Each structure stands twice: as C-alpha cells, then as structure tokens.
Structure 1
Amino acid sequence: MGSLSAPGLWALLVSALAMTAIVGGRYLATSGLFALITRRARPGLYAGMDRQIRREIFWSLLSAGIYGVPAGIVAWGWQAHGWTRIYTDFSAYPVWWMPLSVFLFLFAHDTWFYWTHRWMHRPRVFRIAHAVHHASRPPTAWAAMSFHPVEAVTGAVVIPALVFLIPIHVAMLGLVLTIMTVMGITNHMGWEIFPQALVRSRLGHWLITASHHHRHHEQYRCNYGLYFRFWDHLCGTDRGISTP
C-alpha cells in the first residue's frame, strides 16, 4: 500500500467505519425484515428463543465490523486509486459479461465457502471457529452472520479479493451482495420461504435453500454449500433436503 499521508489514512479509516456501519445496518434491516415475515407466516416459531436471538445479534454485529474493514479498504482503493476491476461504464464490457460476472462471483464464493466450511467441521477447528454458528439450534433469521471472528474473517475476504480478479459492473456487484444477503438469511430462517415447486424441481436440485441447509444444522457433516449444490453433489456430501 506504501506510505499514506494523514488525509489518506483518515479517508481509509472513514471508509472502513462507513462500510462497517453499512454492513451492520444492512444486517439489522434485512434480518429484522425476515424475522417479521417469520412472525407473520409462522407465528410462535421463535417463541422462547429470545436469549439465542440476542446471542445471534451480538455475534452478527461483531462480524459486521470484521466484514466492514476489508470492504472499506476496497471501496477506498477503488475510489481513490482505481485498484480494483469494478467498472461503472456499461459499454466497457459486452452486455453478456454482466450476468456471467455475477455467476462467476457466486460460484467462486460458493467454492471458497464449501471448502472452508468443510475445514471448519474438523473437530478441533469446529470447537474454535464454527461452534458459535451451530449454537443456533435451530437457526433463526438473525443467525445469518452469527460467526466467531475466525469464521467471519474467512468469509469477509472473499468478495474483496474477487473484485481484484474479475471485472464486474458496480450494479452487478450490488446484485451479488443482495443475493449473498438474502440467501444467507433465508437459508437460516428455520422454515422454507421458497415454493416447493422450486425446491423439489430440477433447478432446485442444484440450488441451496432452507430445506437443504437445515439438514446441515441437523446432521453437521453434510450439505456444506452456500448457493449451489455442485460441490456437495461432486464430493458426495449432499444428503438431500429436510423439512424445516
């Protein structure tokens, strides 16, 4: 990064703090929204879980700070120095590249998540890094970012790293972050929000929803993916869907 002037350091700090606030605010708003939807659609599902939910919120807001720092550094580097491959001109790449870039980001993120997730299920690593997340039994809409700091670090570096490697329009990056947020929450809500026609379809055979991820929280050593079931199918760790 080289030496930074005092204004440069201040701008970097402000960017990191701003992104931390954005990540934390996004978490509270989106998890709160889906918790409200749960209250309306499944009354009483979270009854008696106030203590667990408070714990999930605590760990999630701590994770927001860990996610916010690399995001803030990337935002600062992009705006101040043009370090990343984020672009704003729609004509910079062919139109077909925009959806492809979204898929590449999601697939790369899913690949990283699958293998780090399997690693965190090794007994010693699990006790240190992943037990916090699995303390949510069953998970709620507030559990999507309920991570130990070690686990949060493994998740926080992925998208910031990818923007240095894969060109992506800023709007498509926003779409990636939206998908990441919605999938992270809906997979942990404790019930299936998507229609069974999708979940049990040929497409659903390759996508992860709450029905798939809930089985991971039940059996631990299966269904490790984040968005897609590709690696679970390929590696023989897919155990089908549950009925949350």
Structure 2
Amino acid sequence: MLGSSHIVLSAIAMTLIVGVRYLITSGLFAWLTDKVRPGLYQGLKPQIGREIRWSLYSAAIYGIPTGIVAWGWQNRGWTQIYTDWNAYPLWYLPISVLLYLFAHDTWFYWTHRWMHVPKWFRIAHAVHHDSRPPTAWAAMSFHPIEALTGAVVIPALVFLIPIHAAMLGFVLFIMTLMGVTNHMGWELFPRWLVQGRLGQGLITASHHQLHHARYTCNYGLYFRFWDRLCGTDKGLGAFQDRKSRPREDASLSDATRSA
C-alpha cells in the first residue's frame, strides 16, 4: 500500500515537473520572440490559450508514465539508467545520446506520418495543426492520443538502452529545446548552421515550418534522415507574413488526402 502511494506521488511530481518545464521554457522563448520579432504573435491570444491548455493535458500524459518509471528506477532498479561514470566507457556517453535521439526520431517520424492518415488526422493530429501559425507555446499542444504516442518513447528506451542519468537529462534538454524552437515561427539558429552542411542533416524551425505549411512533408523531429530516405524531405520553408495565413489554411485539404 505504501509503495502504491509513493508511485502516485512520483507520477504527480513528474507531471508537475513536466508542466512547469513547459511553462518556463515556452514562456522564455515566447518572451524572446516578443523581443526579437515584436508583433509576431499579435492577435493570437485565443490560439495561445488553446495551446497552453492542450499542452498541460499533455504534461500529465507525459508525466505519469515517466513518474512511474522514475520510481521503479530508484526503488526497484527496473531500468538501464546508471549513475556510475565508470560503468561504461566514456566514449559510450555520446553514443548513448545519439542512440536515444535516433530511436526517438524514428518513432516520431513513423507515428507522425500515421497521424497524417486522414482518419487519425481528423481525430487527433488536427489539434496540433490548429496552431496556424505555430508559436513557442505549441510544442506540446497535442490531442491526448498523440501525446500518448510521444509519452511512451523515453520511458520505453530506458528499459532497453543503458544511459547515464546525466546523458538522459541532456536528451530531455535537446527534446525540449528542439520541440519549442521548431515551432516559434522564426529561425533561432544562424544561417550558416541551417543552410550549411550540418543543417542538411538536422531539423530546425526552417525545416519544420514547411511541414506546418504543406502538411504532407518534413515529418522528422531531430534529423532529416527518414525524410530523405522516404522522399518526404522538401527542404526548408519560408516564414511568411501573417497575411498569408489563408494559404496555410488551404493546406488542410491536403492533410486529409495523404500521409
């Protein structure tokens, strides 16, 4: 009985952590957007309110399984998370991060394409694409079904792939950073990175912007590998003036025709 109450407390605590992390991170980048691109989110208060509401629902869906797994790691040794720096060679530290990111990216690409199947787009993924244009608050704005597909990834991976606790924290940092910056509506990273050789393999806001404009391309999360392999990489998008929003709305019909 005592163990069950501790699991519940862990799930509640992790939900609060995920929710507060979202509010702080998205709030920080929304504030930065207001300073760097003043007026970009003007007139979007109702949309931002919806994004925050859906994101806080998602925080619970992400937080509950994470809290349960965290309890199991600390109290039952369920996972492959380790804290001893000597448990594995130091060269394995960056390898483990890349393994997690690639596995997450793979899962995201294919579930994201599945979410663009007309039935599932209408049921779930339309919530995320209701952000037109997306803002820094939209990173976790998901229908519960979509949030559930994302929430299982990292909790599942910690049972399969050994990773140091600090490296796991770094993975979560990258996941949070890219989730927010890819939806801000402007490019945070310098042109030399985005348009250079490194940018040819990484996803930033310029790449993801085209997905929100066309719906049927650029499905990846971190890397352009699967998009390039499957022929769904259509390059970098342009950040259009807010007056061109009807063009984005027109793409809704495309979203319901093809995955």
TM-score range, shorter chain: over 0.9
Matched, 1:223 2:218: yes
Matched, 1:161 2:159: no
Matched, 1:37 2:37: no
Cα deviation, residue 129, structure 1: 1.2
Matched, 1:194 2:189: yes
Q: Which amino acid aligns with 1:160?
A: P
Residue 64 (structure 2) aligns with: 69
**Alignment partner of 1:179 out of 174, 178, 191:** 174
**Alignment partner of 1:103 out of 90, 98, 103:** 98
Residue 10 (structure 2) aligns with: 15
Matched, 1:51 2:37: no
Residue 109 (structure 2) aligns with: 114
Distance in 1, matches of 2:237 and 2:89, equals: 41
Residue 146 (structure 1) aligns with: 141
Residue 256 (structure 2) aligns with: none
Percent identity, aligned pairs only, is 72
Tell me the number of residue pairs that the alignment of Structure 1 and Structure 2 aligns.
239
Distance in 2, matches of 1:63 and 1:227, equals: 20
Q: Which amino acid aligns with 2:208?
A: H
Q: Deviations over 1:57-108 (max 9, x none)?
A: 0000000000001100110000010000000000000000000000000000
Distance in 2, matches of 1:201 and 1:83, equals: 42
Distance in 1, matches of 2:125 and 2:186, equals: 22
Distance in 2, matches of 1:202 and 1:196, equals: 11
Residue 135 (structure 1) aligns with: 130
Distance in 2, matches of 1:167 and 1:123, equals: 37
Cα deviation, residue 134, structure 1: 0.1
Structure 1 unaligned spans of 5+ = 1-5
Residue 3 (structure 1) aligns with: none
SS in 1 for 2:160: coil
SS in 2 for 1:35: helix
Q: Which amino acid aligns with 1:92?
A: A
Cα deviation, residue 139, structure 1: 0.2
Root-mean-square deviation (CA), in Å? 0.3
Q: Which amino acid aligns with 2:118?
A: P
Structure 2 unaligned spans of 5+ = 240-259
Q: Deviations over 1:173-229 (max 9, x none)?
A: 000000000000000000000001100011100100000000000000000000000
